């Protein structure tokens, strides 16, 4: 009788400890969402081959593209992280959240500079049909940058988890 009464009492702290566990991220977690974003981009490109690229180019010319991409990637990453934490009944980590908030901004800012260099290089070269080429370069950059901005923080978190596990 006393043993059976002690068991729940022992189990409670264990359960509490279990509940306080920080969420562990696997790369497969963001993969499906990234694949869906990528397929949506491709679908819009196929269904609206002129208007969808034009929207992207207009936003880029008005300097609105990078802030929109930052907002989109950060909210998507944080939403996914919280969903994974909720599904696994684990606590979201502060460092991971900071990483998810800052890495997409850094990635997109750096890639924006790369895009500027790409465009300058295109205009300086002796190429045919330069304006159309620049439009296509911007389109490709937008796609790769968007996917990289969502994937990079999860990759960093995963690698950090691996190191932490090795250390302990």
Binding flag, residue 145, another protein (CB under 8 A): yes
Q: Which residues contact 20 (CB under 8 A, 6 or more apart)?
A: 91
Q: Which residues contact 90 (CB under 8 A, 6 or more apart)?
A: 19, 21, 22, 23, 24
- Rounded to the nearest whole angstrom, what is the least distance from the CB of residue 138 to another protein in the complex? 10
Q: Do 155 and 28 meet the contact criterion of CB atoms below 8 Å apart?
A: no
Binding flag, residue 88, another protein (CB under 8 A): no
* Residue pointed to by tokens 């080429």: 133
Q: With CA atoms as reference, report the closest residue to 139 among 22, 52, 72.
A: 52
Which residues on neighbouring strands pair with residue 22, listed in sequence order? 91
- Report the residue from 34, 74, 76, 108 that binds another protein according to the rule CB under 8 A: 34
Q: Tell me, residue by residue from 43 to 82, as one string, x for binding to another protein by CB under 8 A and - for no binding.
A: --xx--x---------------------------------
Binding flag, residue 159, another protein (CB under 8 A): no
Q: Do 65 and 56 meet the contact criterion of CB atoms below 8 Å apart?
A: yes
- Rounded to the nearest whole angstrom, what is the least distance from the CB of residue 155 to another protein in the complex? 7
Number of residues that bind another protein (CB under 8 A): 39
Binding residues for another protein, rule: CB under 8 A, are 26-28, 31-32, 34-36, 38-39, 41-42, 45-46, 49, 111, 114-115, 117-118, 121-122, 128-129, 132-133, 135-137, 139-141, 143-145, 147-148, 151, 155
């Amino acid at each position: 009788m006393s043993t059976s009464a002690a068991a729940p009492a022992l189990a409670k702290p264990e359960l509490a400890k279990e509940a306080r566990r920080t969420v562990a991220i696997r790369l497969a977690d963001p993969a499906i969402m990234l694949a869906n974003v990528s397929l949506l981009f491709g679908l819009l490109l196929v269904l609206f081959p002129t208007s969808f690229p034009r929207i992207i180019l207009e936003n880029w010319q008005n300097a609105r593209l990078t802030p929109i991409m930052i907002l989109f990637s950060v909210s998507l990453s944080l939403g996914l992280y919280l969903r994974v934490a909720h599904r696994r009944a684990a606590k979201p980590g502060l460092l991971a959240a900071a990483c998810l908030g800052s890495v997409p901004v850094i990635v997109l800012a750096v890639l924006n500079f790369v895009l500027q260099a790409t465009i300058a290089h295109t205009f300086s070269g002796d190429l045919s049909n330069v304006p159309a080429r620049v439009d296509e370069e911007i389109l490709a950059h937008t796609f790769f940058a968007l996917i990289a901005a969502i994937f990079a923080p999860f990759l960093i978190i995963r690698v950090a988890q691996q190191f932490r596990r090795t250390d302990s």
